[in-house]
Amino acid sequence: MTGETGTESRASDAALVARIIQRDESALAALYDRYSGMLSSVLNRILRDTQAAEEILQDIFYQLWRTAAQFDPSRGSLPGWLLVIARNRAISRLRRHNPASGESLLENTIVLPATLESTIAQQQLIGKVKGALDNLPKEQRAAIELAYFEGLTHSEIAQRTGDPLGTVKTRLRSAVETLKRNFKI
C-alpha cells in the first residue's frame, strides 16, 4: 500500500512471495507495506491491545518470511491467508488458547472474491463490507460481530446475549445469507 516503491507497488503478491523465497528482504518489506494496515486493523479490533496486536503482526510476517516456500497461490490469495491467520491468532490470544489449527500456509484453502493488491481495491472493499453490515438488522449484525471479532460459537453467543439458541442460529443464518449475496463482486 503506502511506503512501497513504484516498482514494488506494481509487483504482484506471487512475484513478491517468489522473491521472499530467494531471501529478498525488500519483497517482504513491500508485502508488509501492502497488508500491515489491513491486518493491524483487524488485530486491534479483536484484541483491543496495541502491543499484543503488534506482536502478532510482526510474528505473522516473520512466519511468511520463514515459510513462504509453503505458500501455494493456487490454493488461495495471500491476503486471504494473512487475514485468516491474523484472526485465528488474535482470537487464540483473546481466549488464551494455543494458536488455532488451520493457520499453516498449507491447510484450508481460501478464495477471496476480490483482489486486494491495490489501495483502491482495499478501499472499495471497506465501503462494500461496511455498507453490507450497516444494512443488516441490528441483532444480526451484533451476532456476526460476536462470532467474527470475538470468536464465539452459536451457543456462546446465546449465553452471552441471553437470547434463545434457536434465535441466535436463525439470526446468524440470515446474516450470512445476506452477506453472501452482497459480497458477490
Partner 1 sequence: MSGTHPTREEDFDLYALGALDGDEKVAFESHLASCAGCKEKLAEANGRIAMLAFAAPATLPSPGVKERLMRQVAATTPEINASSARIVPESSEGIFARWWGLLLPLAGAFALAALLLWLHNGQLERQIAALRGTIQEQASKIAQAHEEAELMSARDTVVVSLAVQKNQPQGTARVLYNSRRGMLVYNGRLAPVASDKSYQLWLVPMNGAPISAGVFNPVSGEMNSMMVKVPAGIAAKAFAVTLEPAGGMPGPTGPMILVGPVS
Site for partner 1 in 51-90 (CB under 8 A): 53-54, 57-58, 61-62, 65-66, 75-77, 79-80, 83-84, 86-87
For the chain, where are the alpha helices, taking DSSP H only?
A: 6-10, 13-21, 25-47, 50-67, 78-94, 119-134, 138-150, 154-161, 165-182
Kindly tell me which of 162 and 181 has the beta carbon lying closer to partner 1.
181
The three-state secondary structure class of 74 is helix
The number of residues that bind partner 1 (CB under 8 A) is 78
Distance in Å, CB of 70 to partner 1, minimum: 16
Binders of partner 1 among 17-36, rule CB under 8 A?
A: 23, 25, 28-29, 32-33, 36
Binders of partner 1 among 145-184, rule CB under 8 A?
A: 145, 147-149, 151-157, 172-173, 176-177, 179-180, 183
Distance in Å, CB of 139 to partner 1, minimum: 15
Residue 48 binds partner 1 (CB under 8 A): no
Q: Are 20 and 69 in contact (CB under 8 A)?
A: no
**Cα–Cα distance measured from residue 145 to residue 169, given in angstroms and rounded to the nearest whole number:** 14
Cross-strand pairs, 76? 110
- The residues near 96 (Cβ < 8 Å, ≥ 6 apart) are none
With CB under 8 A as the contact rule, the residue among 11, 16, 17, 38 that binds partner 1 is 38
**Cα–Cα distance measured from residue 50 to residue 44, given in angstroms and rounded to the nearest whole number:** 6
Residue count of the chain: 185
**Cα–Cα distance measured from residue 36 to residue 47, given in angstroms and rounded to the nearest whole number:** 16
Distance in Å, CB of 65 to partner 1, minimum: 5
Residue 1 binds partner 1 (CB under 8 A): yes
Binders of partner 1 among 81-140, rule CB under 8 A?
A: 83-84, 86-87, 91, 108-114, 118-120, 122-131, 133-134
Distance in Å, CB of 167 to partner 1, minimum: 14
